[in-house]
Structure 1
Amino acid sequence: MTNRSVRIRVPGTSANCGPGFDAIGLACTVYNDLELTLLKEPELSITIEGEGAQNIPCDNRNIVWRSVQYLLRKAKLDKEYPGAIIHMENNVPLSRGLGSSATAIVAGLKAANVLIGNRFNRRELLQFATDIEGHPDNVAPAIFGGFTISTVTRGNVECFTFMPKFRMKLVVAVPDFPLSTRKARAVLPEKVPMKDAVNNIGRAAMLVAALCKGNDKFLRNVFEDALHQPYRAELIPGMYDVFQAARKAGALGANLSGAGPCLIAYTLEKRECEEAVGEAMKKAFQQHGVASKILIMDLDNRGAHIVNENKE
């Protein structure tokens, strides 16, 4: 009898979505694939293709393997499966604000869960992923797809997921430099002014309402943020100029993707302006000496899912 294996596909994600700091996220149509085989021998083989292949550790530090082990410990099967064969095919840019670590965590948890007979449901996987990542804003859309709104109450995660009432295109400018989440969080203040908190509460609520009701006219001003973008702007040359260029080219709005440095703009599919928006964002970055590439994507509506499974 051969060892069972499974191939899992997980979408990249964007967190914050403007005013929804650490609460709102979305899944987009760029994917990382993971093939996992659990072994009953203490052997570990990790191979990586694509984004981050030269930088991601291929030993016990690997976040996919650590996530697999986490789930096996929860199932009390870590002694039964002390080893694994892991193959990663990555398309999500590393350390750019598109949830690369979240895709790895969710892929490891999902793949291991499938191989032990789906002992845990998606809500439990969300809790595990949040415990590993530290916050749910990227792991939630990676699991569920679409837009997600997450809260944590005394350590317990709750997540609401939905697809907007109109079709959107996501235009992402990926600059040619990485930015660690740790560095991006280090520039944030411990306290913020009341007016900035009010600004974000109102806009985050308006964003969700407009998406759920399908009323795009209310999206023009909702992506503005006062809690994290002003402090992170110094880390991303030309950030506000890129936002302005995107809007002038027809975008509904634009914001920092997660902790950055990717910048994401939102357009309505019917307006067919995403190519112009991408070009405008790229040119604005160039004016500040930053090279970038443009990704034009849709919202992913599936989240993490099985591509194929070997049940021999």
Structure 2
Amino acid sequence: MPRLNVGTTAKVRMPATSANLGPGFDSLGIALDWTDEITVEVTESGFEVEVEGESADVVPTDESNLILNAVLRGLEELDASVPGLKLTAYNSIPHGRGLGSSAAAVVGGALAAWKLAHPVQEPDRRRLSLMAVDFEGHADNATACMYGGLTLAWGQYENQAHVMLRVHPRLRVMMFVPETPVSTARARSILPDRVPRADAIDNASRAALLVHAVQDDLGLLWAATADKLHQDYRAELMPESYTLMKSLRSEGYAATLSGAGPSVLVLGSDRHLDALSDVNAEGFRRHALHVGAAAAVI
């Protein structure tokens, strides 16, 4: 196993992502133009982690750091080793808000490992994506982060696959982000193992409609983003977010929980979303966003 030279450096930019988009549970994901950056440098020995920006006071700076572990996993996968590493993370994506921060960390670490091991080769995104999904566990977020745009993922392990969906040129995103995080693991654990057949049928039709709406007919987004599989069950964990989502939907906006929440995502045209600047959403920060690009070595 070749050992990389001290001083070898990789810098990566990774987008925030939102999964589900209502009915597309664990399958649909969208990248946003809201990014984190990391720099990884091979050092003589040991591991050093510095974190700046969002959640800098709570992100681990020891060997349990998620990005560091993703880099090391990636190097092992690529048959490369290092005497030591210094990781510097520049965070702007809030953690625990349903914005794919952990997927960004793992995808960023995987791409950094590739750059360190193969400095002149284009990343094998298929290989790195499979590694990221295996490590992070959420194909919807990880795939959207790795490839950018809007993605549809299915399958598991080596059979995991995806397609990139065309996005209507006027599609925009408004994100309402609360101050208080919610654990993704807790938000998943509250979901039932079984749902009524009628709910499953309704969700399947809405998810299929959503694929059409985001590409060709933004006027169908409200109908296409209705969900019966996960959002109602999560209401007790994030009552303010659920109330905001329902209020926005009652006014005709295509509002959903972002991933497992508690952020609230609204899809629509730029003109339609402009009116959201007047909506009362105390306790939430608003972010007007576009569809984002893929994670990339910079």
Which category describes the TM-score, using the shorter chain as reference length? over 0.9
Instruction: Return the alpha-carbon distance in structure 1 between the equivalents of residues 136 and 157 of structure 2.
Output: 16
User: What TM-score do the two structures reach when normalised by structure 2?
Assistant: 0.92
SS in 2 for 1:185: helix
Does residue 46 in structure 1 map to residue 49 in structure 2?
yes
| Match runs of 1:238-257 below 5 Å | 238-247=240-249, 251=253, 253-257=254-258
| Match runs of 1:35-114 below 5 Å | 35-39=39-43, 41-78=44-81, 81-114=82-115
Does structure 2 conserve the Cα–Cα contact (< 8 Å) formed by 1:72 and 1:112? yes
Paired positions, count: 292
Aligned CA RMSD, in angstroms, stands at 1.8
Does structure 2 conserve the Cα–Cα contact (< 8 Å) formed by 1:17 and 1:24? yes
Instruction: Return the alpha-carbon distance in structure 1 between the equivalents of residues 35 and 117 of structure 2.
Output: 24
> In the TM superposition, what is the alpha-carbon distance from 1:161 to its structure 2 partner?
1.1
Q: 1:292 to 1:218 in 2, by over 3 A?
A: closer
Which 10-residue stretch deviates more, 41-50 or 87-96? 41-50
SS in 1 for 2:140: coil
Does residue 305 in structure 1 map to residue 273 in structure 2?
no
| Match runs of 1:1-312 below 5 Å | 3-39=7-43, 41-78=44-81, 81-117=82-118, 118=121, 121-153=124-156, 155-212=158-215, 214-247=216-249, 251=253, 253-269=254-270, 271=271, 273-280=272-279, 283=280, 285-286=281-282, 291-300=283-292, 302-307=293-298
Does structure 1 conserve the Cα–Cα contact (< 8 Å) formed by 2:176 and 2:284? yes
Q: What per-residue deviation string (whole Å, max 9, x for no partner) do you get for residues 25-63 of structure 1?
A: 000011000011123x33211111111101111111001
What amino acid is the match of 1:83? G
Instruction: Return the alpha-carbon distance in structure 1 between the equivalents of residues 51 and 156 of structure 2.
Output: 36
Q: Unpaired runs of 5+ in structure 2?
A: none
Instruction: Return the alpha-carbon distance in structure 2 between the equivalents of residues 238 and 180 of structure 1.
Output: 16
> In the TM superposition, what is the alpha-carbon distance from 1:70 to its structure 2 partner?
0.6
Does structure 1 conserve the Cα–Cα contact (< 8 Å) formed by 2:97 and 2:262? yes
Does structure 2 conserve the Cα–Cα contact (< 8 Å) formed by 1:19 and 1:223? yes
Instruction: Return the alpha-carbon distance in structure 1 between the equivalents of residues 196 and 122 of structure 2.
Output: 45
User: What residue in structure 2 maps to residue 310 of structure 1?
Assistant: none
Does structure 1 conserve the Cα–Cα contact (< 8 Å) formed by 2:134 and 2:157? no
Does structure 2 conserve the Cα–Cα contact (< 8 Å) formed by 1:249 and 1:277? no
